[in-house]
Amino acid sequence: MKKNILSAIMLGLLCIGPLQAQELFLNPMPQEYTINQDGINTPAQYRVLADDNDALSPAIGLLERVMPGENEEASFRVCIGIKGDKNIKKYARHIPAKAEGYYLKIDKGSITIAANDARGAYYGVQTLAQLLALPQLPLIEITDYPDIPYRGVVEGFYGTPWSHEARLSQLDFYGRNKMNTYIYGPKDDPYHRTPHWRKPYPEKEAAQLRELVERAKANNVIFYWAIHPGQDIRWNEEDRTNLMNKFESMYRLGVRGFAVFFDDISGEGTKADKQAELLNYLDDNFVRPKGDVAPLILCPTEYNKAWANVKGGYLTTLGSKLNAGIQVMWTGNDVVASIDHPTFEFINPLIQRKAYIWWNYPVTDYVQDHLLMGPVYGNGTDIKDDAIAFVSNPMEHAEASKIALYGIAAYTWNMDDYDPHQAWEESIRDLMPANAPYLRTFALHNTDLGPNRYDFRREESENIRPALEAILNSYKHGEAPDQEALSQVEEECRAICLASDKLLTSDENPMLIEEIAPWLIRFKVLGLFGQEVLNALQRQALGQTKEADVAYQKARVLRSTLQWTDKLLNPQAQQPGAECGSKVLLPTLEVLFEIAASRQEKAE
């Protein structure tokens, strides 16, 4: 059955319980499923049937956490295994022949999870965990697997690196949402690049990295550690040994994935033949001999089409000289760009392999006065056979980035059924379930980047854009504005103030509130400004001169407050300030303020 049928039947199940219909959305949506309208109560006790297979430990550990009550004497059975295990032999034909694929079946006396590999078994349990949130477990069969082999995040932005606590939270988030890759490469880590890439990490930082590696393993995430040596690398035996030694030190910390970044550099480090020679050496003498290390990743110097000099031969040199198993990153037609099928038609033939997409969204290191908390859209849904990987470069605000990362997880798993707006709605509920309406109001007006050097823009304030346009058009033609449009914008401005107050005083997600606090403060002022501007206009229309002047003067003060708060908030950023509603809402209110000012002058 298709997705809409699943949702409809689950809605019927929902009628017997207190959950909201939208909470039934599975993230990511499974590839195939059939469902029966009947359901069962979650068993209070169950017994696990599994072969003695160490690879199943993360999946079984997760099962015990999300479904307590394991009892060897229980009649209800949970059968879990990996292809080749005896206990799931009769389900082998149902297992998708895809890496990380799994088959999940819930019937009246048992739950079966039969997977192609260990990560698939873990993902089967993650899907079960979401189903356990329903009032009843649906009788369902799911056949599932990802569209893109490697999916996740590259912490590769400029600016303040994530905190240790933020990274731990991120890794748990990746596990829940079936993202299997995290690449550690913050530009401002001195042991990742110049000046200290040749040196091992100090004891404290090394201990934290070891903890991150262990948390990644528990969430079935490949922890990649990236080195960025290109700015001062010497193409000699000494630096090759330095790099091998650094990799060995990271391997001793538990790292089993490695990347070498040559992005954003100049000089000797940009030579394609030298880069290929070094990467092949690492691949031949470190990655392959270890036997338990993920494929090596290269971020090239020419990492997007706008910067590529095809005639210069950089990309074709990498394509012809790099070992076949080495993966090559690509950001698209520009540093920041949407990814589509033509993207791969250009790059894949040059590098002679499927590109490893580094998507620079929702990163804001070039627009640090903005937050990007809108839906994930604009990428092709026909690229699953073109890419070996798709990872997102997020904001320095780790919690706020989860809204976009939730959508990226859904998109890279099942492109055919990906619904950007549904994923966005669910991401907000996932991040702050108790305050979701307020976070949604905030996010609606914090989605666009503002003017930027890559001309990459997003829709913003879409819920009230038609009303704002209607009001402006009325004044443009000398007509009285539509009262319904005015009421809608007034209500939104009140909702903005309420959302700011509720979120600033909430203790539901302290890490998120700390990140977005400067924008919440400005958001409140923006809402108040909008209310007074509209109040002034309406008082003027009614001929209430005194009341109109009071509202106008308040609006003028709030407008000044907006201007100076923009300078004081988020002052440490390269682009200081905290812009909210900057694409539609604030510009429209500014125009309306000027109209009110002009009318007030005439009235005086």
Q: Which residues contact 408 (CB under 8 A, 6 or more apart)?
A: 151, 179, 359, 376, 390, 392
At residue 105, the 3 state secondary structure works out as strand
Q: What Å distances lie between residue 140 and 6, 108, 126, 127, 419, CA to CA?
A: 10, 10, 15, 11, 22
Among the options 107, 189, 264, 501, which is catalytic?
Answer: 264
HSE value, Cβ hemisphere, 13 Å, CA-based, for 314: 19
Residue 299, beta-bridge partner list: 261
Q: What is the DSSP letter of 70?
A: B
The residue type at 341? H
Q: State the Cα–Cα distance between residues 500 and 456, nearest whole angstrom.
A: 27
Tally: H helices and E strands in the chain: 18, 14
DSSP for 174-203 reads HHHTT--EEEE--TT-TTTBTTSTTSPPPH
Q: Angle at the Cα of 1 (from 177 to 49), degrees rounded to 5?
A: 60
**Which pairing describes strands 137-144 and 102-106: parallel, antiparallel, or unpaired?**
antiparallel
Token look-up 């107050």 returns 501
Provide the residue type at 80 as one letter.
I
According to DSSP, the residues that pair with 154 across neighbouring strands are 183
User: Is the distance from CB of 44 to CB of 50 less than 8 angstroms?
Assistant: no
Give percent helix, percent strand, percent coil of the chain, each to the nearest 5: 50, 15, 40
In the 8-state DSSP scheme, what is residue 307? G
**DSSP secondary structure, 513-543, as one string:** HHHHHHHHHHHHHHHHHHHHHHHHHHHHHTT
The verdict on whether 52 is a catalytic residue reads no
* Nearest-5° Cα angle at 471, 468 to 476: 125
The catalytic site residues sit at: 264
